[in-house]
Chains A and B, each alone.
Chain A
Amino acid sequence: SQTIHQWPATLVQPVGSPLSLECTVEGTSNPNLYWYRQAAGRGLQLLFYSVGIGQISSEVPQNLSASRPQDRQFILSSKKLLLSDSGFYLCAWSSQVLRANTGELFFGEGSRLTVL
């Protein structure tokens, strides 16, 4: 069966510090990978998605970046965090098979980031 892991689960970082969140998927190959951010009590904002190694689509201009160094690994980074980067970051994967596919997203447990 497929599983998705992301870490760390919780982190508190000072403004201006770097960030690295990591996500890995097991049990499937060539998944679509996504990073979403959720502010407290709000919806999910799509930040980045990737359909293959080294292929990253950015949805929101910001000081965050994403990389996909391996097929099932997705990393979210920042060189200098802002207060507004605080939130709940969710990694997700979906199958690339579109035919008769619901496009169901399978989410990791999330990483809660507080920037002080």
Chain B
Amino acid sequence: GQSLEQPSEVTAVEGAIVQINCTYQTSGFYGLSWYQQHDGGAPTFLSYNALDGLEETGRFSSFLSRSDSYGYLLLQELQMKDSASYFCAVRPGGFKTIFGAGTRLFVKA
């Protein structure tokens, strides 16, 4: 089977840094993506890693280690509006994308 594991919940305070981990077991691997979803809304794309290393986009960074089947999303200078669910997703092959169960991030004042 194919699976992606990520923590169900993370809580952090405003201004802090938080890391959301994702480990995956898939039949193939084209890349690891991260999506953000606010309550009642649609997921929106945050980042993508196809190769090992760190990708930075503003306050958000994403890391991938293909040898460890592991990645993480790093959110810096947390803001209240970052409270949302974050999903890691893998393209195991071709055009298919499968998602983890999501991590609910609570940002406290």
Contacts and interface: CB of A to CB of B under 8 A. Distances in A.
A44 B45 contact: no
A6 B94 CA distance: 24
Interface residues of A, number: 26
Give the 5 A-B CB pairs with smallest separation, nearest first. Answer: A102-B48, A43-B101, A107-B42, A44-B99, A32-B95
Contacts of A105: 35, 43, 45, 89, 97
B98 to A, nearest CB: 6
Interface of B: 30-31, 33, 35, 41-45, 48, 50, 87, 89, 91, 94-102, 104
A84 B55 CA distance: 39
Interface of A: 32, 34, 36, 41-46, 49, 51, 57, 59, 90, 94, 96, 98, 102-110
B96 A44 contact: no
A49 B101 contact: no
Given A102-B33, A104-B33, A49 B96 contact: yes
**Which of A34, A51, A104, A105 has its CB near the most chain B CB atoms (within 10 A)?**
A105
A104 B36 CA distance: 13
B6 to A, nearest CB: 9
A68 to B, nearest CB: 13
Contact of B33 (A57, A103, A106): A103
A43 B100 contact: yes
Given A43-B87, A49-B95, A51-B95, 4 more contacts: A44-B99, A46-B96, A94-B95, A103-B31
Contacts of A109: 41-42
